[in-house]
Every structure is written in C-alpha cells, then in structure tokens.
Structure 1
Amino acid sequence: MALRSIMGNKLRSALTMLGMIIGVSSVIILVSIAEGSAQNVTSQINQLGTNLLTINTFGTDVALSDGKIDELSKLNGVKAVAPVIQGRVNVKKDRTASQVSLTGTNAAYSTVRDVLVSQGRFITDLDIEYRQKIAVIGADTAATFFGMENPVGQYLQIEGTSFKVVGVLASKGSSLGQSGDNVVIVPLSTGQRLVKSTTINQVFLQGKSENQMDFVMNEVEIKMASFFPSKSDSYSVMNQKDLMDTMSSVSNTMTMMLGGIASISLLVGGIGIMNIMLVSVSERTKEIGIRKAIGAKRRDVLLQFLIEAVVLSGVGGIIGILAGIGLGEILSSLLSLTVSFTSTVILSSFLFSLAVGVIFGVFPANKASKLNPIQALRYE
C-alpha cells in the first residue's frame, strides 16, 4: 500500500526525492574532490623524496663544509646525504638559449630525492672527483634544446662552457609549485664553479626507516647545535613527515567542512519529505479512518507511512549516488581535477539519507497513527 501510494503520485514523489538526490550527490562530489586534492598534494610531497630531512643554513658563517656533511652522513639512522648548491644559469645550444635552474650535487641525490633517469645515467662520485663537465638534464630542458632527438652524448653550452649530456631525467611534473623538469644537474664541484660559490647552504638527508625519522631529526638537530652553537636562528631542519602531517590536517578540516556544507542540503531534503508526508496524512485522513475501523492497529498505520518516507529517501539516495559519481567523473575530466571516490563516503551518504527519511518520517507517521477513527471517518 505504501509503494502504491508513492506510484500514485509520481510527480510529487519525484520532487520530494529531488532534495535527497541533490543532498547525496553534493556530499559525494564535494568530499571526493577534497579527498582527491589531499591525495594530489600527498603525491607531490612524496615526489620530493621519501624519509626526507632538509637542512637549510642562512649566511656564509653557517655554511656546511665537507667535514660537517661527512659527520652528518655517519649519524645513526641516516641512509644517504646529498649536499646541494643551486642557482640560475644561461644554457645555449645552436640558436636556442634559455635560463635554467642549476643543481650541483652528488651521486646520492638520485636516491635521496627519488629521481629517476629515463635515458643515460646519473652523476657518479668519479664525476665529482675529477670535476667532469657533464650534465643530467630534466625532461623539459631536453625537449627545449633537443626536441625529439636523443640528448645523451650531445653537448650544451652552460655559461659559455661546453658540457656533455650523460642523462635525461624522467618527467616528475610540478611539485608544490616548482617544476622538476626544467633543470640541469651537474657534479657538485662543477656546480660550485658555475655559480662562483663554494658555500653549501642546503643538504638533503634520507633516513633508513620512516619509523626512525623523529630520532634521526633529533640527532641532526643536536649535531647542528654542536656545529653552530648559539646560532639556532641561522639554520633550520625540516622533516618531510611534519609537512605531510600539516597538509593532512588541513585536508581533513577541508573535507569535513565541505561534507558539512553538503549535508545541510540532505537535511533540507528531509524537511521536504516531512512536509509532503504531513500533506499526505491530511489528504488520506478518511482512508486511515476506514483502515482503523476495520481493525488496523496503530503500528500498521505507523509502519505504512514510515515505509513511504524511507522508500522516498532510499530511492533518492541511490539516484543521488549515481548522479554524484557521474557528475564527479565529468568534473574530473572537464576541470582536470583529482576526484577520489571511496566506498566509505558513498555508503555513509546513503545511510545518512535513510536515517533522514526515518527521522523526518516518524512525526507524520506518528500523527497518522494517532488519528481517532470516528473523527477520521467524518473528515471532509
């Protein structure tokens, strides 16, 4: 009887369900976009390297010498150390000229920063020792100066000096607003000559295990304090895990906020269901009177109206899930957004829609079940 009543008023039932459809699809789309954004940021941070500590010093009086870097590499829990010297250099080949980011580093950099070589090889310790004029270039740099040609074995002019290209990096894309593909990597000793500075102000350390990172960071901070006593403001030690935790906290807050905003439309949909059910009780007062007069108990009437409310919210929830996934996929392709659908979000939004149907359906159903059969039969 509940289902017949719904089918008998198709347009009204469809409009009633519309609130639930919009509510459920809104929750799924907004939360999935928020979670997709969080995953995108996490993957960008991971591109910087895993189990990573970054030491930055400010000024020439707190520069990291080879001896200090060697001491850092011998700390417990440290897997590899990559000192870095950076700058901007003029790169030229034939008639093509451009300014490119230069990184002077050692062989461990590829492991520490999770850098992969798609062609050729990376820098070796021998290249640093013999101050070789060789370069490993990023994917964008390779495309700019060599087009479709294989750059390995060819030469580039860096600040007027000829460098042999020995490798091309696999494309990493942009990471936290910085392109990792428009770069030239040279041996540390050669890089110091190019930027005309021997000062090393940045060192990357990779820990052996993720579980040991807090311990390693503590050891590094103690060692840095012994290197530069009373100069704690002149250097910083950053743990990638701290950055991840901060971003995760921001993402969770954003997800909850968007989910909460979308849930308001579910409540509005619930109010719509209650409104229509109250109208339905008024319309069918005589029918309720007849049912009670021929033996229907209070729970029978209560159950009939409650089933109607739950079916309206349940069907609306199912359509809302399909609409949410469909619209999410469309937005993902049109706006190049990362959308992450999870079964938890989909199931939660559906169960929430059912709960809304039950909660907002109880009052009209209760009102119908309490009607006096004599008064109901006389109702016009």
Structure 2
Amino acid sequence: MLLENVKLALAGLLANKMRTFLTMLGIIIGIASVIAIMTVGDAMNKSVMGQMGDMGVNNISVYVMQKMTDDYDFSGDVYVREMKDRDYLSDDMINDLSEHFSDRVEGVALKKGVGEVKIETGKKYANISLEGVNSVALKQTRVKLVAGRGFSPNEQSESRKVIIVSDRYVENMLDSDPQAALGQPVEAVIDNKYYNYTIIGVYEYSESSAGGMDAGKSRKDVRTSAYIPLQTAMIQLREKPLYDELEVVAKSGADQGILSMDMQNYLNTKYYKENDTYETYAYSMKEEIKSMESMLNTQTYAFAAIGAISLLVGGIGVMNIMIVSITERTREIGTRKALGATNGCIRLQFITEAVVVCLIGGILGVIVGQIFGIVASKMMGYSGSASAGGIIFCVLFSMAFGVFFGYYPANKAAKLNPIEALRYE
C-alpha cells in the first residue's frame, strides 16, 4: 500500500517537474542553510579547540591574586598593597607542591619573559621574543625541533648561555640550513647590555602557533620566539626565583577539576592562611575547554535554528502546492472514492506525496549545504563537516515537515464528497 502510494507520488511529481522543483526549493534552501551553518560551525569549533588544546589540555593554571573576602570591593577602587617577596610562589613552595601531588602531577612549567629583541648584523635582521623556560615549559610549547636538542639539566642549573631559535631566524640571519646553524652565536642587546648565546636547537616555525598576530607581515619582519634556560633568564633580569603564576601539568587520567581545587586548598591552607591580602587560585584548562566547547556548540545551534526558519517558508510552499494539486485532481479523487477508496487511503496518498517532496528536497539540501559549508570552511582556512547525527536529523525533520504541512491538504482531499468531486469541472 505504502509502496504504491510512493510510486503514485513520484509519477505525479514527474508529471510537473518545474512545479515540483520550485516547491522543493524552499526545503532545499532551508536544509542547505542549516547544514552549511553546522559545517562552518564545526570547522570553527575544531580550530578554536585545537588552539586551546595546544595551550595544554592537561594544564592547570595557578595564580596569586587578591583575597576574595566578604567585604571585597568589585569596583576595583579599593587600595591593594603591592606584592612583597612573601606573597609570591617560591621554588620551595613549587617543589613541595610537586612532591605532595606527585601521584597526579607530571611537572610544573615555569617561564619568564626576557623581552622583545631585534637582532641585527649588517643589513640582516630578525625579531625575536626571548623567553626563559624550564624543561617542562619547553616541552609544553610543543615546538618541533628540526635540528639540535633541548636544554640539558646542567645547562638549566648552571645558567648557561644557550638558545633555541626558529628556522625563520636561521633563514633571516644565517642563510643556512638548520643543522649548519648549530653552534653559531646569537648576540642580543637587552636594556643596553650585550648578551651572547650559542644555538643548540632549531625549531620549525608555525604560523598557527603565532596565533595570527603576524598575519600580513613579511617573512623577515615576523617575530618568532627564542628560548633560553630559565635560570639564565633570572640572572639576566636580576630577579629572584619568585612567581605570581605557573602552569601545573597533570598526569594523564587525573581529574583536573578535583586536582586544581586540591592544589588551591593546599597552597592557601599551608602558605597563604596568614597572608592578609593574597591567596592562590587554580583552574583547569580542560574545564575551560569544555565550557568554550559548550558555548560554541550553543552558538552554532542558535544560528542553525535561525537558518531553519526558512524551512517554514518551504513548508508553506508545500502546503500551497498540495492544495493546488488537490483542486486539479478533484475528479480523480472522486473516481477513487467511488471505486471504494476510504478517507484514510486518500489521506495517506497525499501525505505520502508531501513527504516525498520534502524528503527529496531534504536530501538535495544536505548535499548543497555540505558543498557550500565545505567551500566556506576552506575559504576561512578551516576544515569541517556536519555531523552524521545532524544530517539524519535534518532529513527526518524535512519528512516531519512533509507530514505536518501535508496533513491539512490531505485531510481536505479525504473529506471531499465523491458525488460533488465527480461533478467538479
């Protein structure tokens, strides 16, 4: 019975190809809009999540901040005393923290910004951001070494003047391949003082790691990062080993949310309980990523819902054309009823026709939406696709639209008086 109705519906649609296409157009545009938005949204989600993931999905950030007391003034007008040495996180605190949570913590990433430097030799120049890092922090930068190695424990502890630069620096300053750059000197002027380093490693520069900040700049003007041992940076900056923030790398499998709260409570209870102004605050990067992912998904669904409004126009078009079709086929309906067709059979026939129209339109809409979505994503520099669940939902939704908007015309056809229908001209 259903198969016969589908054949009748297809025959009726093929008999009026242009009208059928125009009827489907609203459904095609509506579904295509939703699929294209979902595809672009997926691409943007992957891009944002990838960038946040590169920042360290297992990282827990620990900050020293003003205490949040009951009488805390959120306006920011209240006077807060400057931080003293005892307010900062010290090496002893960090070592204690690492030891206390050794079963859940892989290491603590420490870094100190030395400054932005322009290296010049004759007409050659290169812009670098010089940063002191410990071994854990260097590992967290996820730099891909193309020549040389990272810092040894002795180079860290003995504050040796060694440096890791980018292949872009080597290209600008040395005109050589990365391997040949090893052992070459780097002379930098920082605060009117000359510092000499020896290149021990060269990493591959990635524009994605620069966060788009160097977009539009020439290859020579792009600023790249260069890394020196943390203790070397401390000596050059003449700073004590004190920190107002750090990154804790959790072990795989550890619950970052619970670990961050445990570390925060441990530090505040043991070291900051008697502090009158400052305390520590810890939060998990993974929790932030989850929150951001949820926000981006909500945004994508909201835009998709707005795009789905155009489906209403398509649905109304289906209803309108079905009413016209019933009017044109009044005598056919009368003949079928005279031959014994029940109201249910007539109703099912026209609902099936509406569903077929919407189903075909939905499938075409998915195809068109995928094409436009992928092209738009590529133009934006991303790569994405609509989820299988989203595609199935859109197809089922279009079929539901066919039932919803096809029911009224189908019910009207089913209630026609066979005698009046046969007399209809």
Task: Name the TM-score, length of structure 1 as normaliser.
Answer: 0.92
Q: Which of 174, 178, 203 is the equivalent residue of 2:246?
A: 203
CA positional deviation for 1:314: 0.9
Separation in structure 2 between the aligned mates of residue 368 and residue 217 of structure 1, nearest angstrom:
66
Residue 141 of structure 1 contacts residue 184 of structure 1 at CA under 8 Å; is this kept in 2?
Answer: no
Q: 1:105 aligns with which of 116, 130, 133?
A: 133
Cα offset for 1:97?
3.6
Contact in 1 for aligned 2:57/2:286 (Cα 8 Å): no
Q: How does 1:195-274 map to 2 (within 5 A)?
A: 195-198=237-240, 199-225=242-268, 226-229=270-273, 230=275, 233=278, 235-274=280-319
Equivalent residues of 2:163, 2:227 under 8 A apart: yes
- Aligned-pair distance for 1:122? 1.0
Asked if structure 1 preserves the Cα contact closer than 8 Å seen for 2:63 and 2:280, the reply is: yes
Task: Name structure 2 gaps, 5 residues minimum.
Answer: 1-7, 66-82, 215-221
Aligned with 2:321: secondary structure?
Answer: helix
**Bigger mean CA deviation after superposition, 8-17 or 223-232:** 223-232
Q: For residues 39-188 of structure 1, what are the structure 2 equivalents within 5 Å?
A: 39-57=46-64, 59-61=83-85, 62-76=87-101, 77-95=104-122, 96-146=124-174, 149-150=177-178, 151-159=181-189, 160-172=194-206, 173-174=208-209, 182-188=224-230
- How does the TM-score come out when normalised to structure 2? 0.82
Secondary structure at the residue paired with 1:101? strand
SS of residue paired to 2:382: coil
Distance 1:142 1:202, change over 3 A: farther
Residue 354 of structure 1 deviates from its aligned partner by 1.1
RMSD: 2.4
For 1:282 and 1:147, the matched residues in 2 are separated by 81
Cα 1:152/1:202, change in 2 over 3 Å? farther
Question: What is the number of equivalent residue pairs in this alignment?
Answer: 380
Equivalence for 1:20: 27
Structure 1 residues 147, 291: closer, same or farther in 2, change over 3 A?
A: farther
Q: By how many angstroms is 1:67 displaced? A: 1.4
- C-alpha change, 1:147 and 1:305, in structure 2 (3 Å) is farther
Would the alpha carbon gap of residues 116 and 157 (structure 1) be closer, same or farther in structure 2, given more than 3 Å must change?
same
Give the aligned partner of residue 31 of structure 1. Answer: 38
Identity rate, percent: 32
Deviation at 1:124, TM superposition (A): 2.0
> Which 10-residue stretch deviates more, 52-61 or 327-336?
52-61
Which stretch of structure 1 is more off in the superposition, 145-154 or 22-31?
145-154
Q: 8 Å contact 1:217–1:239 — kept in the other structure?
A: yes
CA distance in 2, matches of 1:175, 1:306: 57
Q: CA deviation at 1:360?
A: 0.9
Match of 1:209, SS state, is: coil
> In structure 2, do the counterparts of structure 1 residues 365 and 36 end up closer, same or farther at CA, with 3 Å as the change threshold?
same
How far apart, CA to CA, are the structure 1 residues paired with 2:316 and 2:171?
59
Aligned residue in 1 for 2:217: none
Q: Is the 8 A contact 1:106 1:124 kept in 2?
A: no
Whether 1:330 and 2:375 are equivalent positions in the alignment is yes
